[in-house]
Chains A and B, each alone.
Chain A
Amino acid sequence: GAVVSQHPSRVICKSGTSVKIECRSLDFQATTMFWYRQFPKQSLMLMATSNEGSKATYEQGVEKDKFLINHASLTLSTLTVTSAHPEDSSFYICSALSPLAGAGDTQYFGPGTRLTVL
């Protein structure tokens, strides 16, 4: 149980275009999802917290107009990288918070999306 999927797994786009990444909780409802960015050989950096039906909360330094997050249902959150540039190339990972794991909440992670902007 507690599976999180991401789509696409890999995307290559031209500079200036927008890219949408989907994150789905497959077998549970997630009122809260998170978006992370991971640079090569570095740790995951939290970009934003997404709550179903409300605006996302962005971490300091993350441009909310560039990284649009929509959490329209209890099983789907999307991240849109608008007007992408080469410096946006990275590995984007989502997670969903599940209360099903017993004592305390647990974040379940998707497999990630590799974005390459040419």
Chain B
Amino acid sequence: GDSVTQMEGPVTLSEEAFLTINCTYTATGYPSLFWYVQYPGEGLQLLLKATKADDKGSNKGFEATYRKETTSFHLEKGSVQVSDSAVYFCALSDQGAQKLVFGQGTRLTINP
């Protein structure tokens, strides 16, 4: 079945560092890909998404490009802030936004 693998956390960076969180997927079709963020004490929020190959999703300085050839959707940000500290989940869906399959989550901590 479909699956998502994220880099293991936790990840700790200093403010203004460059961030990459790796995400690869296995799917039988051509899924939509998502990054969700979960801030402490809050529910998951959609950060960005891409629905087809070579699409780039972006939001709040974060970017991820749908790479079909490497089955990847790595999350990047050029300069992280303390407020970016959260748990980040990569996810896919073969059916629009229905039946999301999540990766295990990566906890990110940004130190001032």
Contact = CB atoms under 8 A, between A and B. Distances in A.
Interface of A: 4, 6, 32, 34, 41-44, 46, 49, 93, 95, 97, 103-112
B97 A109 contact: no
B97 A42 contact: no
Interface string B43-83: 11110010100000000000000000000000000000000
Q: Which 8 A-B pairs have the closest CB atoms?
A: A109-B43, A109-B44, A111-B43, A105-B97, A43-B102, A43-B104, A44-B102, A105-B96
Contacts of A107: 46, 97-98, 100
B32 interface: yes
Contacts of B45: 109
Contacts, number: 53
Contacts of B96: 104-105
Contacts of A44: 44, 89, 100, 102
B23 to A, nearest CB: 12
Most buried by B among A32, A103, A107, A110: A107
A108 to B, nearest CB: 8
B41 interface: yes
Contacts of B98: 32, 49, 97, 105, 107
